[in-house]
Amino acid sequence: MPQSAERLAKLPPYIFAVQGQRIQEMLTRGQDVISLDIGSPDLPPPPAVIEALSASAHHPNNHGYAGYRGIPAFRQAVARYYQRRFGVTLDPEREVLPLIGSKEGIVNLCLGYLDRGDIALVPDVGYPSYSMGARLAGADVYWLPVNEKMGFRPNLEAIPSEIANQAKILWINYPNNPTGATAELEDYARLVNFCRENDILLASDNPYVDVTYDGYCAASVLQVSDAKSCAVEFMSFSKTYNMGGWRLGAAVGNPEALKILLQIKSNVDSGHFKAIYDAGVTALDNTPSSWIEERNHVYQRRRDQIMAVLPFIGLQAKKPKGSLYIWGRVESGNGTKYVDKALNEALIALAPGAAYGPGGEQYVRISLGIPDDRLEVALQRLKDWYAKTSLSVS
């Protein structure tokens, strides 16, 4: 066989693919592993969404290609959502592009903008696809230090001018995966101004905007005046409507950036089939706010349940106002070693913080996407394990 492409040398295996294989092997051996690592909603979508999918799928004329830009009704529904939710006006023809989940859009945007020698500005704690997309494109990653004291927001003033001059994309994500950190409109305004001044594309990944707690309401970067001159935002149905496996999302904002993204996508994929888009329209137009509030209440209860246990399992965390995760700092030692021991000795799968960048080495991520009964078992296992073991994760 020929040698693999050189770009793979900079692209390590995806952490959850590796860990998932390890967990599957343990399950095959009869070990009852409980997964708190993947941010996959365990609850179903709204019933009307499933009904819309079924009705559309039963239509004999709905099984062909739906077009590279999806169907107009879907793009229009996304625009209505942005107007209703954020007061942002979008042109459905130029400023909305459907995606096969936001993850593919993130990577394809990197392929559309980055070449060898270019730089992507990536927080040193963040979703892995931001850096992996840059590496697939042959570009370099400049890690922006973020930490708890800074609210996990980048210090733009600390970016050297020579780096800013070479950078072409800046990635942001609030409510944040994995930290749960949030950003306000003034934070977004600073980011927009920085990117406008330095001719940088601001890419806002916003899948958790409607997964919030304690009355908090998250914003969109597009609410900032003139944001569409330099920004695109990724919205996703995976977390907002519990449709993770449906792989439906959209990129919105700057029309030139979306045109470039479409040029990549049209050479790579052919879009969803119509029933998925029809279900997406139903999710956007017919999901009552009470459904989202009730779903978030379930996550909030789980969040508080996990927070109460952290002192007994050697972790510390700030209570998040959004996202689907607890970002726990290991009180004594290393997050990767903690995760390995928890999996091997307590049969609990957590996500190692180092998977999210060099700033995450002392952390672990805990997902709220697990049924209540299994969460109770998992937390009790972790408490018993930590109490009995002479744990050393240094």
Residues 365-393: pLDDT tens digits?
999 999 999 999 999 999 999 998 854 54
Domain borders along the chain are 6-45+290-388, 64-286
Q: pLDDT, tens digit, for every residue of 119-169? A: 999 999 999 999 999 999 999 999 999 999 999 999 999 999 999 999 999
Strand, helix or coil at 53?
helix
Is residue 3 pLDDT above 70, yes or no?
A: yes
pLDDT classification of 17: cutoffs 50, 70, 90 = confident
Most trustworthy range by pLDDT among 12-16, 24-28, 322-326: 322-326
Would you state the structure tokens that stand for residue 244, as one six-digit string? 């993770």
Question: What is the model's pLDDT at position 392?
Answer: 52
Query: Does 6-45+290-388 match 64-286 in CATH topology?
Result: no
Q: Are 225 and 210 in contact (CB under 8 A)?
A: no
- Find the mean pLDDT for residues 270-292: 97
What's the pLDDT tens digit per position in 58-76? Answer: 999 999 999 999 999 999 9
Q: How far is CA 138 from CA 120, 141, 159, 249, 253, in A?
A: 11, 10, 21, 26, 25
Instruction: For the chain, give the mean pLDDT.
Output: 95
Residue 83 has what pLDDT?
98
Instruction: Tell me how far apart the alpha carbons of residues 237 and 216 are, in angstroms, rounded to a whole number.
Output: 20
Tell whether the model's pLDDT for residue 46 goes beyond 60.
yes
Token duo for residue 147: 């930490």
Q: Which residues of 83-113 are buried (b: 16+ CB within 10 A; e: fewer)?
A: eebbebebebeebbbbbbbbbbbbbbbbbbb
pLDDT band at 394 (very low <50, low <70, confident <90, very high): very low
* 0.85 exceeded by pTM: yes
Question: Tell me: the pLDDT tens digits for 304-351?
Answer: 999 999 999 999 999 999 999 999 999 988 999 999 999 999 999 999
CATH topology (fold) of 64-286: Aspartate Aminotransferase; domain 2 (3.40.640)
pLDDT score, position 248: 97
Tell me the β-bridge partners of 261: none
Instruction: Quickly tell me which residue has 């969460």 as its tokens.
Output: 375
* Closest residue by Cα to residue 210 from 178, 235, 184: 235
What CATH architecture applies to the domain 6-45+290-388?
Alpha-Beta Complex (3.90)
Helix (H, G, I), strand (E, B) or coil at 75: helix
Q: Tell me what pLDDT residue 5 has.
A: 87
- 243-255: b or e for each residue (b if 16 or more CB lie within 10 Å)? bbebbbbbbbbbb
